[in-house]
Homo-oligomer: A and B are copies of this chain.
Amino acid sequence: MIYLDNAATSFPKPYIVYDEMERCLKEYCANPGRSGHKMSIDSGIAVAEAREVISQFFNISSPMQVSFTKNATEALNIVLHGIIPQGGHVIITSMEHNSVLRPLRALEKSREVELSIAWGNKLGQIEPDCIKRLIKRNTCLIECTLSSNVNGTVMPVEDIGRIAGENNINFLLDASQGAGSISVDVEKMNIAFLAFPGHKGLLGPQGTGGLYIKEGIKVAPLLQGGTGSFSSSLEQPEMMPDSHESGTLNVPGIVGLKSGIMFINRLGLLNLQLFKSSLLNIFYKEIKNIKGVKIYSCIPEHGSNSGILAINIGDFDSSEIAEMLDKKYNIAVRGGFHCAPLAHKTLGTENRGLVRFSLGCFNTIEEIEYAIKAVYEISKCI
């Protein structure tokens, strides 16, 4: 199968991810922080090393400010439910995922949270000034995705972070799409909260993710429970990372995530970025000449793209095209709607969805050429 669904989850993973997970599972996978024996300590060290590797990757100075979560959705929910007060005002972009939109909808109801949306242009690009103009007296949070999961458009995160800083507002970056493709620097981008999944661009396994919280900011925990620390206290510990890590951690998963990031470090993030954007450019340049194909992703000259080519062909239903690609060409993509209803509205695809080709660092030029051929043949059926 030619796997072009890396925005859903990356596949395959580097061998080192499989190998280190296996070694963890078979050799030392005890419960970290619970007991004091060698295996428990080894598990604890593995988790601590993963925190270090993640922190270096995002330029986080204190690894203890990183809590592990089951996915980015949990990390986003922790911040949204934990930081926004009654009647607080939040600014987001129209390119956000349901993992942001749905918690905010729940908070609109339960806490009368006010929501302002900075709408993107036809490619989902956001003007930072548009966000600036939405700031009000009660704005407590600006949230933005690093890049769109629907069409790959990269957001002007550094500018948005600067605007947030100038106005003394906390900035939450959803790095679900883009972490592992685009460099993220929590200092340079003035990020107060960083939510990231382990299983997409960071090349770790499913069941992993994390949340960085800037030192000094307290976020009410979403879950309470055993943390292995302050074991005799009935109160949830307030210190990071324990405050947001209730219950047993996914140690083999975290080990896999660490290995995924180490693989990226070894190849070099910029090299990976260059490789992926080269493939994307080849893809784009051929696809744009195919009659009947409409492209919804940034062309390389017009803006940064994290590795997605979003298209439709003629009047075909996007799910049908995805099905044809799967059944006839053995190409895995996602069709239809992509859990980001406002993004579809922004791109004008709210009625039919779109076909998303999302590239990973293990795709090859031959695969892209084959995908181009497939799109060309399907377009002939119009």
The answer to whether B332 and A30 touch across the interface, beta carbons within 8 angstroms, is yes
Bits for A119-145, please: 1 = Cβ < 8 Å to B, else 0.
000000000000000000000000000
- Contact A25–B97 (Cβ < 8 Å): no
Q: Which of A158-166, A217-225, A267-275, A277-285 contacts B (4 or more CB under 8 A)?
A: A217-225
A314 CB-CB contact with B under 8 Å:
no
Oligomeric state, in copies = 2
Q: Which bracket fits the contact residues of A?
A: 35 or more
Identify A106's interface contact among B36, B206, B236, B333, CB under 8 A. Answer: B236
Q: Which of A98, A209, A247, A253 has the most CB of B within 10 A?
A: A247
**Chain B minimum-CB-distance residue to A250:** B207
A156 near B: Cβ within 8 Å? no
Could you tell me which residues of chain A, from 26 to 42, have a CB within 8 Å of some CB in chain B?
Answer: 26, 29-31, 34-40
Q: Which residue of B lies closest to A341 (CB)?
A: B232
Q: Please determine whether B206 and A341 come into contact, CB atoms closer than 8 angstroms.
A: no
Q: Within the complex, which residue of B26, B98, B102, B332 is in contact with A35, where a contact is CB–CB below 8 Å? A: B332
- On chain B, the residues within 8 Å of A16 by CB distance are none
**Contacting pair B8 A18 (CB below 8 A):** no
Is A77 in contact with B225, judged by CB distance below 8 angstroms? yes
B-binding residues in A (CB < 8 A): 1, 3, 5, 8-9, 11-13, 18, 21-22, 25-26, 29-31, 34-40, 69-74, 76-77, 97-99, 101-103, 105-106, 197, 199, 205-209, 222-228, 231-236, 246-253, 319, 322-323, 325-326, 330-339, 341, 344, 350
**8 pairs across A/B with beta carbons < 8 Å?**
A9-B29, A11-B29, A22-B22, A25-B205, A77-B225, A103-B224, A105-B236, A207-B253
10 tightest A-B contacts by CB?
Answer: A207-B250, A73-B247, A102-B224, A99-B225, A70-B70, A71-B247, A73-B225, A8-B31, A37-B332, A226-B339
